Amino acid sequence: MIRYVAKRVLFLIPTILGVIFIIFAVMNLTPSNPALAILGPGTPAEDIAAYNHELGYDRPFLEKYVTYVRDMVFHQDFGKSYITRKNVFDEIWPRYIITIKLALSGVILSALIGVPLGIRAAVKQYTLWDTIPSLVAFLLAAVPSFVMGLVLMFIFCLKLRLLPSYGADSIKNFIMPALAISLPSSAQNFRFTKSSMLEAIRQDYVRTARAKGVPERQVIWKHVLKNALLPVITQIGLSLGVLIAGSVVTEKIFSIPGVGSLIVDRINYSDEPIIIAGTILIAICFTLVMLMVDVLYAFIDPRIRAKYTKKN
């Protein structure tokens, strides 16, 4: 088991190197001029060329890539922003924490809403406990998070005046953004949990347990739920990674100073250090989430743990 976790941790290395290479390749293929964006269109051409040279933007693609990887690995240096000339990590990290808080809030809410309702709908199939949540889930799954954010802002900010519409200064600032990203995700968790529970309920071991007279509550919670949770955990882990990477729209709507909105803002200025470092942090977080999901799999299902032990 320890060797398995170590292998997955080592898998981070080629993943990060691949992400850096792809971002550098895209930035190299995209026509841009950071000096022109920073200094303005009226700046003489020689001043623009000199500033690009000072930034190191005019260096060859492979040279920039190798230098960046070397500085990141051996010196923990992500470079300096082209715009602010500040250390990239110092500028990104506070925003990254805000994005993590928003994504975690959304995932926790979506799990607390979707999973229990999915379990209830599967147990009470073809009743109102199934029909009404299923209709609501289909509706929420079709609504994009930015539309949900605008609706929530209209209701709770403009009409009821209960919640602030921008910023990240207190818990109140996170309520509407967390709801905006969690409600569509909770609909997916509901449908996934329901289908997984129904599939487990139809298994032979469940019929055998019922035939032996095992109480229905014990059948559901001890036998069905334990096996149905595995794909649900995967869905929740994937949704966390997606929310971290895709919360930029919500951050823009509610003016939340997260890392996603920062990356989008700096794309206009070709601020490579900010774009690359922000993307790397998101990729690392997504990979770590998948690692935690795999490890949690093994703790929940002893068959998986035994398989890993056998391989090791």
Residue 310 has pLDDT above 80, yes or no: no
Task: Give the whole-angstrom CA distance, residue 182 versus residue 242.
Answer: 12
Residue 308 has pLDDT above 60, yes or no: no
Q: pLDDT digit string (tens) for 277-303? A: 888 888 878 778 877 877 777 676 666
> What mean pLDDT do residues 221-240 have?
79
Chain mean pLDDT for the chain: 81
Percent of the chain with pLDDT over 70: 92
Task: Give the whole-angstrom CA distance, residue 212 versus residue 232.
Answer: 28
Strand partners, 87: 80
Residue 306 has pLDDT above 80, yes or no: no
Comparing C-alpha atoms, which of 297, 204, 288 is closest to residue 9? Answer: 288
Q: What DSSP line would sit under 79-108, residue for residue?
A: -B-TTT-SBHHHHHHHHHHHHHHHHHHHHH
The pLDDT of residue 309: 60
Q: pLDDT digit string (tens) for 111-136? A: 899 889 988 888 888 888 888 988 88
Q: Which residues of 168-202 are buried (b: 16+ CB within 10 A; e: fewer)?
A: beeeebbbbbbbbbbbbbbbbbbbbbbbbbbebbe
Task: Give the whole-angstrom CA distance, residue 43 versus residue 36.
Answer: 7
- The answer to whether residues 149 and 180 touch, using CB atoms and an 8 Å cutoff, is yes
Residue 312 has pLDDT above 60, yes or no: no
Specify the range with the lowest mean pLDDT, choosing from 187-191, 200-204, 278-282, 298-302: 298-302
The pLDDT of residue 303: 65
The pLDDT of residue 22: 86
> What mean pLDDT do residues 138-147 have?
82
Structure tokens at 257: 């100073």
Domains of the chain by range and CATH? 88-311 (1.10.3720.10)
Q: Categorize the per-residue pLDDT at 224 as very low, low, confident or very high, splitting at 50, 70 and 90.
A: confident
> What mean pLDDT do residues 145-158 have?
85
The pLDDT of residue 227: 77
Task: Give the whole-angstrom CA distance, residue 272 versus residue 274.
Answer: 6
Q: Give Cα 188 to chain centroid, integer Å.
A: 15
Q: Categorize the per-residue pLDDT at 307 as very low, low, confident or very high, splitting at 50, 70 and 90.
A: low
Structure tokens at 284: 């690392």
Q: What DSSP line would sit under the chain, residue for residue?
A: -HHHHHHHHHTHHHHHHHHHHHHHHHHHHS---HHHHHH-TTS-HHHHHHHHHHHTTTS-HHHHHHHHHHHHHHH----B-TTT-SBHHHHHHHHHHHHHHHHHHHHHHHHHHHHHHHHHHHHTTTSHHHHHHHHHHHHHHTS-HHHHHHHHIIIIIIIS--S-SS--SSHHHHHHHHHHHHHHHHHHHHHHHHHHHHHHHTSHHHHHHHHTT--HHHIIIIIIHHHHHHHHHHHHHHHHHHHHHHTHHHHHHTT---HHHHHHHHHTTT-HHHHHHHHHHHHHHHHHHHHHHHHHHHHH-HHHHHHHHHH-
Strand partners, 123: none
Comparing C-alpha atoms, which of 238, 269, 262 is closest to residue 93? Answer: 262
Residue 246 has pLDDT above 70, yes or no: no
Token pair 């060797």 in the structure block, residue = 3
Residue 167 has pLDDT above 70, yes or no: yes
Residue 174 has pLDDT above 80, yes or no: yes
Count Cβ atoms below 10 Å from residue 31 Cβ, excluding itself: 6
Q: Give Cα 174 to chain centroid, integer Å.
A: 16
Give me the half-sphere count of Cα atoms (radius 13 Å) on the Cβ side of residue 18: 8
> What mean pLDDT do residues 58-85 have?
82
Residue 102 has pLDDT above 70, yes or no: yes
